[in-house]
């Protein structure tokens, strides 16, 4: 099915472990984004990518790593998970950047709990 999918839907991990959240889109959108959503903070940008092999930091990148070897995939890795990274993570994609008037399409989210 066409769309943007995130996996896993829910994840519990221990402090210090590495965990990877997956994001896959079928539209061949150039832009992909990772946001985290926390009460009181709304959606905050972690990393984004304008194309394959091009990534850049957002507002809250510390503790996260991304890669984009293929246009359709944009995994987010927490190298050493901390409790402050407990959050709901949303991946989004866009045909072009917001400046050109393209909105983002979001996945259903991954709820990550770090214990």
CB closer to other proteins, 10 vs 18? 10
The residue from 12, 26, 56, 82 that contacts other proteins (CB under 8 A) is 56
Residue where the block lists tokens 């507002």: 59
- Interaction of residue 107 with other proteins, rule CB under 8 A: yes
Long-range CB contact pairs, 61-65, < 8 A, 24+: 64/34
The minimum distance between CB 80 and other proteins, in angstroms, equals: 26
Q: Give the chain's largest Cα–Cα span.
A: 41
- Interaction of residue 62 with other proteins, rule CB under 8 A: no
CB closer to other proteins, 27 vs 106? 106
| CA–CA separation, 25 and 33 (whole Å) | 11
């Amino acid at each position: 099915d066409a769309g943007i999918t995130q996996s896993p839907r829910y994840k519990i991990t221990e402090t210090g472990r590495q965990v990877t959240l997956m994001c896959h889109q079928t539209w061949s959108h150039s832009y992909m984004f990772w946001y985290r959503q926390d009460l009181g903070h709304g959606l905050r940008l972690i990393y984004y990518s304008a194309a394959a092999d091009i990534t850049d930091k957002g507002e809250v990148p510390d503790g996260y790593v991304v890669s984009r070897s293929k246009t359709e995939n944009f995994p987010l890795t927490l190298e050493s998970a901390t409790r402050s990274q407990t959050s709901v993570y949303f991946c989004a994609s866009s045909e072009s950047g917001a400046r050109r008037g393209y909105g983002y399409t979001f996945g259903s989210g991954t709820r990550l709990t770090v214990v």
